[in-house]
Structure 1
Amino acid sequence: MKTVTLVEVNKENWYDCCQLAVSPEQEPYIESNAISIAQSKFEPTLKAYAIYEEQTIVGFVMYNMVQEELESHWVYRIMIDHKFQGKGIGTAATKLMIAQMEQLPNCKKIVVGYHPLNKGAHKLYASLGFVDNGDRFGQEMAVIKYIN
């Protein structure tokens, strides 16, 4: 696999992030990157990153730098453009994001919420050590990764 990196969303890459799209069957499960980037401008504790494979923007992640529900740091978005899915990029990018989040003050748990029918998300998070303790928020299930 080529090198995967996270680069903070900035004036050079924000528009390209907004052009990324998931597959049509995934659309009901995730907000657009444009909405996520706008949200990050109004909630300053949110950190938004473009996912690059080499020099190409292939995805987007966003997380909160402060604790929220379940006394945890929350992942807000992880998406890989439909043209780049199935190559391990999402796993690599999520590992990079988790490594950053582990450096946050008092980061003991990382939580991500997703729709129970989103099988790809379920497989990804389970493979990275997230566990389902039965926490639910509206339509979403919340899985937790415990940090040592």
Structure 2
Amino acid sequence: MSTYIKEVNKENWREIAALEPAENQKEFIESIPFCLAESFIEALTTSLGLYAGDKPVGYAMVGFYFDEKKSIWFDRFMIDYHFQGKGYANQFIPLIEAYINEHYDVQIIRLSFVPGNDQAEQLYKKNGFVRTGENDPEGEIIMEKYL
């Protein structure tokens, strides 16, 4: 089944807003409706629907681009609990990186994760991200990847 990314817009926001993480992951990510509202209101980020065939299976947000640093944040990432364990996370990270390369002039992709979310850290390490030794203002651990 083909996987692809589609920017969230007025046609698909409802199906993306309905996505949910597994119960034990809810403490690690804001709700998708909150993320969509933040993205649409602040306009510093872009919300992305992650699709397998015609089904929405996940969500990501990218933004907070810094021209002088040539960096951007891969700010949110979640695969709906119905679709976890099928390899989608590892399929979508390269697609998100390709989306970033197509839309922004960047050399660094940064992200953060909540301490204790070992599953996320392992996923990001597997995809080439490394810890920076920094934490964001909320205490999340920052990782980055040089392109």
> Normalized against structure 1, the TM-score is what?
0.91
Report if aligned partners of 1:112, 1:144 keep a CA contact under 8 Å in 2.
Answer: yes
How far, CA to CA, are the matches of 1:52 and 1:103 in structure 2?
A: 18
How far, CA to CA, are the matches of 2:64 and 2:134 in structure 1?
A: 21
- Residue matched to 1:49: 48
Task: Kindly state the Cα deviation for residue 35 of structure 1 after the two structures are TM-superposed.
Answer: 0.7
Letter matched to residue 136 of structure 1? N
- 1:60-103 Cα deviation digits (max 9, x unpaired): 111006228x7621011110001101111111111111112123
Task: Kindly state the Cα deviation for residue 139 of structure 1 after the two structures are TM-superposed.
Answer: 2.1
Report if aligned partners of 1:65, 1:101 keep a CA contact under 8 Å in 2.
Answer: no
Identity %: 31
- Residue matched to 2:99: 100
Letter matched to residue 127 of structure 1? K
Paired positions, count: 145
Q: Name the Cα RMSD after superposition.
A: 1.6
How far, CA to CA, are the matches of 1:106 and 1:10 in structure 2?
A: 23
* Mapping for residues 1-148 of structure 1, pairs under 5 Å: 2-64=1-63, 66-67=65-66, 72-137=71-136, 138-147=138-147
Task: Kindly state the Cα deviation for residue 105 of structure 1 after the two structures are TM-superposed.
Answer: 4.2
Structure 2 unaligned residues grouped into runs of 5+: none
The secondary structure found in structure 2 opposite 1:103 is helix
Task: Kindly state the Cα deviation for residue 106 of structure 1 after the two structures are TM-superposed.
Answer: 3.6
Report if aligned partners of 1:49, 1:61 keep a CA contact under 8 Å in 2.
Answer: yes
Report if aligned partners of 2:112, 2:141 keep a CA contact under 8 Å in 1.
Answer: yes
Report if aligned partners of 1:21, 1:82 keep a CA contact under 8 Å in 2.
Answer: yes
Task: Kindly state the Cα deviation for residue 31 of structure 1 after the two structures are TM-superposed.
Answer: 0.5
How far, CA to CA, are the matches of 1:105 and 1:58 in structure 2?
A: 25
Report if aligned partners of 1:75, 1:111 keep a CA contact under 8 Å in 2.
Answer: yes
After TM superposition, the runs of 4+ consecutive aligned structure 1 residues lying more than 2 A away are 102-106
How far, CA to CA, are the matches of 2:44 and 2:56 in structure 1?
A: 23
Report if aligned partners of 2:70, 2:106 keep a CA contact under 8 Å in 1.
Answer: no
The secondary structure found in structure 1 opposite 2:132 is strand
- 1:18-55 Cα deviation digits (max 9, x unpaired): 11111111000100110111111122231111111101
